[in-house]
Amino acid sequence: MSIQALRRAAAPHGRFPSWLDGCLALVLLGISLVHTARSGGQWAVLDLALVVPLLWRRRAPVAVFAVIWAVAAVQNLVEKPTLADAALLVAFYTVASATARRTTLLLAMALELGIILLVIKTGSGVDEELRTFIGLSGLATAAGVLGINVRNRRLIVSGLRERANRLEQEREQELALARVTERSRIAREMHDVVAHNLSVMLALCDGAAYHVHDAPERVEAALEQASRTGRQALAEMRQLLGVLNDGPVGPELAPQPGLRQIEDLVEQVRAAGVPVSYTMTGELNGAPPGMELAIFRIVQEALTNTLKHAGAGASAYVNLTCWQETIEVVVRDTGNASSTRGSGGAGLRGMRERAAVYDGTLEAGPSAQGGWQVSATLAVPSVTSAALR
């Protein structure tokens, strides 16, 4: 075994003794040696045996206490006590500050036993023995109480540190969850914006290509509508991506679409070649902007699916019914109603998520009147319900 390995094995805490332990041992040893030299100096080796174990008191407090107690017992048998016996109080303080209370209590009893034996040996009268016992017991109690207080303080600090770490982990988890939620929202918005506007633009371009030779005026109108749709999509994308910037949101950004923009949405789909009728029953005064956006996106996605899947000659119907506590949205078309149309995807999942935000449900499938139908029911928040009453 190398010299470094031996030094690591012998050192307290796996390293050399701290300056505090070394200085404490040197001070006790120096004082005790001076006192022993005045008394003859023949028992200096016992003083050394009492003080040196303190270098390992932090690594093995119980073992160090046991060694010092045994050396002190031998000293009590062969000579008078010296100042080096204070090492026993230091060792007991370390035990009280580093071990459980049960262990501290047991070693306190051993320490009191040593004090009793010392008092019996000195035997210089009842009064003197009583004063000696009270004084030494007081010193032992003070060392134990001080050690217990230090241990309690360490436990409190450790608990506070653990709680702070736990709160930090919870905060990081909440931030991670918020980021995931925000990414999902942005992805859903981008899907709705891009899918709808591209579907409208493709339908307009296909119609323009079909009439390029026989109806140039219709081609011009279709291209103008496609251009407006593209600009609108670009503006919405810029607004959506603006939330990803670090800077503050500027006042130039347009508000999120709501119920008033459903008319414009229907006009876009009509311009793309699909006849759409739109009716709204009741009034939704004071509706949260988030709910209006959710309704708009549901209608938008349903009409986008009509453009993509309904086929030629299909028409669509949009009905919005506002009740006191719920809102019903129905989008139905007369096109293809095959089972593959509702096989899933980001659009249908996004519509269900938007409805779920307002404790709603959404169903999509073949309609009893033929074609395909999307129906959703959203719950009006309580504040809005109170206002409607």
> Can you tell me the distance from the alpha carbon of 247 to that of 44, in angstroms, rounded to the nearest whole number?
76
pLDDT of the residue at 320: 92
Does residue 150 contact residue 97 with C-beta atoms inside 8 Å? yes
pLDDT digits (tens, 9 = 90+) for 77-88: 877 777 778 888
Which structure tokens are listed for 132? 């000696």
Q: Phi first, then psi: give them for residue 252, nearest 5 degrees.
A: -80, -10
Number of neighbouring beta carbons within 10 Å of residue 375: 18
Does residue 61 contact residue 94 with C-beta atoms inside 8 Å? yes
pTM: 0.45
pLDDT digits (tens, 9 = 90+) for 301-338: 888 888 888 877 888 999 998 888 888 999 999 887 77
Count of positions (residues) in the chain: 389
> Can you tell me the distance from the alpha carbon of 236 to that of 296, in angstroms, rounded to the nearest whole number?
14
Does residue 268 contact residue 230 with C-beta atoms inside 8 Å? no
> Can you tell me the distance from the alpha carbon of 319 to that of 366, in angstroms, rounded to the nearest whole number?
17
pLDDT of the residue at 164: 87
pLDDT of the residue at 384: 39
Burial 84-111, CB ≥16 within 10 A → b, else e: bbbbbbbbbbbbbbbbeeeebeebbeeb
> Can you tell me the distance from the alpha carbon of 52 to that of 55, in angstroms, rounded to the nearest whole number?
6
Which structure tokens are listed for 222? 């279709």
pLDDT of the residue at 21: 67
Does residue 320 contact residue 300 with C-beta atoms inside 8 Å? no
* Residues 6+ positions from 229 with CB-CB distance below 8 Å: 197, 200, 201, 204, 268
Q: Phi first, then psi: give them for residue 87, nearest 5 degrees.
A: -60, -30
One-character DSSP codes across 81-139: --GGGHHHHHHHHHHHHHS-HHHHHHHHHHHHHHHHHHHHHH---HHHHHHHHHHHHHH
Does residue 371 contact residue 310 with C-beta atoms inside 8 Å? yes
pLDDT of the residue at 277: 92
Mean pLDDT (the chain) is: 76
Give kind and range of the element (H or E) at residue 222: helix 216-241
Does residue 358 contact residue 293 with C-beta atoms inside 8 Å? no
> Can you tell me the distance from the alpha carbon of 207 to that of 232, in angstroms, rounded to the nearest whole number?
20
Q: How many Å from the N-terminal Cα to the C-terminal Cα in the chain?
A: 88
Which structure tokens are listed for 166? 């736990």
pLDDT of the residue at 387: 39
pLDDT digits (tens, 9 = 90+) for 135-150: 888 988 998 899 899 9
pLDDT of the residue at 85: 80
* % of the chain with per-residue pLDDT over 90: 11
pLDDT digits (tens, 9 = 90+) for 203-235: 767 766 766 667 776 766 777 777 677 666 666
Q: Is 352 exposed, middle or buried (0-12, 13-18, 19+ CB in 10 A)?
A: middle
* Residues 6+ positions from 139 with CB-CB distance below 8 Å: 89
Number of neighbouring beta carbons within 10 Å of residue 29: 20
Amino acid at 324: Q
pLDDT of the residue at 335: 83
Closest CA to 382 of 329, 295, 324: 324
pLDDT of the residue at 375: 93
- Residue-level pLDDT, tens digit, the chain, 389 residues: 444 543 444 444 444 456 666 676 677 666 666 655 545 555 677 777 888 888 888 888 999 899 889 888 888 787 777 777 888 888 899 899 998 889 999 998 988 888 888 888 776 777 787 888 888 889 889 988 998 999 999 899 888 888 888 888 888 888 778 777 766 766 666 666 666 666 777 776 776 676 666 777 676 677 777 767 766 666 666 666 665 554 444 444 456 788 888 888 888 888 878 889 999 988 776 677 788 888 988 998 888 888 888 877 888 999 998 888 888 999 999 887 775 566 666 778 888 888 888 888 999 888 888 889 999 999 888 643 433 33
Does residue 80 contact residue 72 with C-beta atoms inside 8 Å? no
pLDDT of the residue at 319: 93
Closest CA to 48 of 69, 67, 32, 65: 32
Pairing of β 316-322 and β 276-281: parallel
